[in-house]
Amino acid sequence: MTDDQYTFQDPSKMFADITPSAQYQEGAGLDSELDDRADHGEKTYRGSGRLTGRKALVTGGDSGIGAAVAIAFAREGADVAISYLPEEQEDAARILALIEETGQKGVGFAGDITSPDFARGLVADAVSELGGLDVLVNNAGKQQFVEDLLDLSDEQFDETYKTNVYAMFWITKAALPHLAPGSSIINTSSIQAYSPSETLVDYASTKAAINTFSKALSQQLAPKGIRVNVVAPGPIWTPLQTAGGQPTEALPTVGEETPLGRWGQPSELAPAYVFLASGESSYVIGETLHVNGGMPTP
Active site residues: 203
The DSSP result for 62-113, as a single string, is: TSHHHHHHHHHHHHTT-EEEEEE-GGGHHHHHHHHHHHHHTTS-EEEEES-T
Closest CA to 176 of 237, 103, 123: 123
Instruction: Give the Cα separation of 163 and 246 in Å (integer).
Output: 18
Q: How many helices (H) and strands (E) does the chain have?
A: 8, 7
Closest CA to 47 of 87, 21, 80, 12: 80
Closest CA to 241 of 254, 260, 257, 258: 254
DSSP 38: P
- 3-class secondary structure, 201: helix
- The length of the chain, given as a count of residues: 298
Instruction: Give the Cα separation of 51 and 30 in Å (integer).
Output: 28
Let me know if 77 is exposed, middle or buried by CB neighbors in 10 A (0-12, 13-18, 19+): middle
Instruction: Provide the phi-psi class of 215: left if phi over 0, else alpha when psi is between -120 and 50, else beta.
Output: alpha
The dihedral of CA 55, 57, 61, 66: what is its sign?
A: negative
